[in-house]
Chains A and B, each alone.
Chain A
Amino acid sequence: MERIRRLAYGWRLWKGYMRIGFLKMTQYPADTSIWLVSMLIREASGFIGILAIAGVTGGIGSWNVYEICILFSMCAVIEAIGQTFFDSVWELINMIRWGRLDVYLTRPAPVLLQVLGEYMFFQAILATVVYVGIFLWAAWQIGLSFGGYEVLLLLEYLVCGTIINSGIYLIFNCLNFWLIQGGDMAVLVQTCREFVKYPLNVFPAAIQGFFTYILPLGFVAYYPAMALLGKTDLPVAGLMPLAAGVVTLLAALIWRVGLRSYDSTGT
């Protein structure tokens, strides 16, 4: 009973934070439109590059142009969802440095919930719409049919992919609890993430293994895309929650240890 009450409390609070995020977006209409245009140009440049290569060679590995579009957009959707709701993990460094965590620690709500709720970035939802459009267009081009299995798989990918992606960001941003420049490590991870926008099987086995077992970012888009396109016999539907579970446990553990070692700056 108490657990349900806490959950309901967390949800009400989360809605409150979403309201703030939404109001922020509407407070600065000029910023919002500039951000949207720059985001589209940035993502389009990467997209056009890979399409050009695939167009010349007819594909990458066993992946044709439309399949690559599907992988690319699936990867981008997860990142955009993360930007919308969980972008605050990147602010952890400043929260620790300027002692803003003190404020959260003096309030009667879980600290992580308050950290995550601090910044929501609803502009990124607009980006999601664009990526979903690309996904649907590519799926239509190769005549992908959507039955119950595909829809369930996509829902699972959205949930697990977001957990894995944002969970890994959280883990590495937690390094800020111990290091002065822990953020650099997290940025490095984000840069590595560029790999998983491409079909992993074109890379050496070591890289494939790394993104499957060590930093399971392959489960954000690559494996679910393969399952969706019928390119693998692996039980991806079962592996995704497993990877998400492991990441969640690790993130929760590191967060706890980090928060315990937090000695606020002495002002």
Chain B
Amino acid sequence: MQIEVSHLVKEYKRKKNPENMLAAVGQMFRPKYEILRAVNDINFGIEKGEAVGYVGPNGCGKSTTIKMLSGVLTPTSGKVLVGGLEPTKNRQKINKKTGIVFGNRSVLWWDVPIIESYKVLQKLYEIPEKRFQENLEEFADIIGIRQLLGVPERQLSLGQKMRCNIAAAFLHDPEIVYLDEPTIGLDSESKLRIREFIRQMNEERHTTFIVTSHDFQDIESLCKRIILINHGEVVVDDGIQKIQKNYQSKKQIRFEMDQNPWLETEKFTMDGVTILDKTPYSLVLECEIQKVDAMAVVDQVSRACQILDISIQGQDIESIIREIVTEKG
């Protein structure tokens, strides 16, 4: 196990909101605190080379966990082991083998050309010159930063900046990389390039990834496993395909037909099936898979009219996760 988390808890002390002005003045001298449990008894393990999506709604404890893994925050209780070591006690040692990408913040120097920032990182991580040049050469084309190396960061667009930051996180051949919202605010071209690069690093170098993102396309295209947390607790921890299979509750069927027998009615003739959309020549149905078999629905429709075309779609992972969160929240 490369990363081991057991019974992890993190509590924050937060000043209580005073009820009135008098209380506000009183609190200047004797502050009242309330305890906030951001992470509540979390357990998981991650093997080398795994790519894991760490997801959940805003304020659910995602960032707090990542910060404890990278040694920025000390756990209130419980245990974190990265490569067999405790991050807070071996911070510098572990950091040398990890990389981190903050989607909302650049780690490069704003005023100087990108390559100069990389040279400082080379010294910081003590990257041998040969390895540094090889990596630079390889990344320059995959993520498309060759033309950007001589340009100061302040003159780059958001997408270009992010690409440079992502390459920066890989210069020292990290074994683990944390990606915190790596594609936030980017156009689709930049997103694609970044995903492609990360996937390549995972396949060729077996770099372990933990990705937190609200963009489920990121998660779906990069990760095989999802850890969903909510209110500081792990709700689901499983493979994406398994989650899709186990939690899938609805399917969408779209028909094209010569004429629509349900054009005038509101309800479909079977239980557990609802009509989402209809025109004289098409029909979109949603069926709950516990109650009704999709093939039976198709059968029913084909008896009433002539089907010209048909497509069946499962729920995407984003809506499945949304349903789990609202159900268990």
Q: A16-B123, A17-B120 are in contact. Are A108 and B105 (CB under 8 A)?
A: no
User: Does residue A190 face the partner (Cβ distance < 8 Å to B)?
Assistant: no
Cα–Cα, bound, A43→B91 (Å) = 44
| Closest residue of A by beta carbon distance from B64 | A266
Residues of A within 8 A of B71 (CB): 105-106
CB distance from B56 to the nearest CB of A (A): 14
CB distance from B67 to the nearest CB of A (A): 6
User: Does residue B112 face the partner (Cβ distance < 8 Å to A)?
Assistant: yes
The binding surface of chain A is classed by DSSP as helix
Whether the Cβ atoms of B102 and A108 lie closer than 8 Å is: no
Cα–Cα, bound, A103→B169 (Å) = 12
CB distance from A260 to the nearest CB of B (A): 8
User: Does residue B70 face the partner (Cβ distance < 8 Å to A)?
Assistant: yes
User: Which of A13, A110, A264, A266 lies at the interface centre, i.e. has the most chain B CB atoms within 10 A of its CB?
Assistant: A266
User: Does residue A35 face the partner (Cβ distance < 8 Å to B)?
Assistant: no
* Chain A 77-120 near chain B by CB (<8 Å), digits 1 or 0: 00000000000000000000011101101111110000000000
Whether the Cβ atoms of A27 and B112 lie closer than 8 Å is: yes
Whether the Cβ atoms of B112 and A264 lie closer than 8 Å is: no
CB distance from B241 to the nearest CB of A (A): 32
**Which of B92-100, B135-143, B191-199, B271-279 contacts its partner?**
B92-100
Residues of B within 8 A of A15 (CB): 123
Residues of B within 8 A of A260 (CB): 74
User: Does residue A23 face the partner (Cβ distance < 8 Å to B)?
Assistant: yes
Q: Pick the residue among B72, B111, B113 that contacts A264 (CB under 8 A).
A: B72
Task: Classify chain B's interface size.
Answer: 35 or more
Residues of A within 8 A of B74 (CB): 260
Q: A105-B91, A108-B92 are in contact. Are A27 and B126 (CB under 8 A)?
A: no
User: Does residue B235 face the partner (Cβ distance < 8 Å to A)?
Assistant: no
Cα–Cα, bound, A99→B92 (Å) = 18
Residues of A within 8 A of B268 (CB): none
CB distance from B127 to the nearest CB of A (A): 11
User: Does residue B83 face the partner (Cβ distance < 8 Å to A)?
Assistant: no
Residues of B within 8 A of A28 (CB): 111
Residues of B within 8 A of A109 (CB): 92, 124
Whether the Cβ atoms of B119 and A106 lie closer than 8 Å is: no
User: Does residue A19 face the partner (Cβ distance < 8 Å to B)?
Assistant: yes
Whether the Cβ atoms of A9 and B126 lie closer than 8 Å is: yes
Whether the Cβ atoms of B125 and A108 lie closer than 8 Å is: yes
Q: A263-B12, A266-B64, A267-B104 are in contact. Are A19 and B72 (CB under 8 A)?
A: no
Whether the Cβ atoms of A108 and B67 lie closer than 8 Å is: no
User: Which of B63, B100, B124 lies at the interface centre, i.e. has the most chain A CB atoms within 10 A of its CB?
Assistant: B124
User: Does residue A24 face the partner (Cβ distance < 8 Å to B)?
Assistant: yes
User: Does residue A231 face the partner (Cβ distance < 8 Å to B)?
Assistant: no
| Closest residue of A by beta carbon distance from B180 | A267
User: Does residue B49 face the partner (Cβ distance < 8 Å to A)?
Assistant: no
Cα–Cα, bound, A65→B92 (Å) = 53
Within 8 A of A (CB), among B32-58: 38
Whether the Cβ atoms of B12 and A108 lie closer than 8 Å is: no
User: Does residue B116 face the partner (Cβ distance < 8 Å to A)?
Assistant: yes
User: Does residue B73 face the partner (Cβ distance < 8 Å to A)?
Assistant: yes
Whether the Cβ atoms of B119 and A16 lie closer than 8 Å is: yes
User: Does residue A20 face the partner (Cβ distance < 8 Å to B)?
Assistant: yes
Residues of A within 8 A of B281 (CB): none
Whether the Cβ atoms of B63 and A20 lie closer than 8 Å is: no
Residues of B within 8 A of A267 (CB): 63, 104
Whether the Cβ atoms of A266 and B38 lie closer than 8 Å is: yes
Whether the Cβ atoms of B116 and A107 lie closer than 8 Å is: no
Residues of B within 8 A of A23 (CB): 111-113, 116
Cα–Cα, bound, A106→B67 (Å) = 9
Whether the Cβ atoms of A103 and B102 lie closer than 8 Å is: yes
Within 8 A of B (CB), among A230-267: 260, 263-264, 266-267
CB distance from A122 to the nearest CB of B (A): 13
Residues of B within 8 A of A9 (CB): 126
User: Does residue B107 face the partner (Cβ distance < 8 Å to A)?
Assistant: yes
What are 26 inter-chain pairs, A to B, with CB distance below 8 A? A13-B123, A16-B120, A16-B124, A19-B116, A20-B120, A23-B111, A23-B112, A24-B109, A27-B111, A27-B152, A28-B111, A102-B67, A102-B102, A103-B105, A103-B107, A105-B72, A106-B100, A107-B95, A107-B125, A108-B125, A109-B92, A110-B92, A260-B74, A266-B12, A266-B59, A266-B63
Task: Given A107-B95, A107-B125, output 13 extra A-B contacts at Cβ < 8 Å.
Answer: A9-B126, A13-B120, A19-B116, A24-B111, A27-B112, A27-B152, A28-B111, A99-B105, A103-B105, A106-B95, A108-B124, A263-B73, A264-B73
* The 6 residue pairs across chains A and B that have the minimum distance between CB atoms: A108-B96, A108-B95, A16-B120, A16-B123, A108-B92, A105-B72
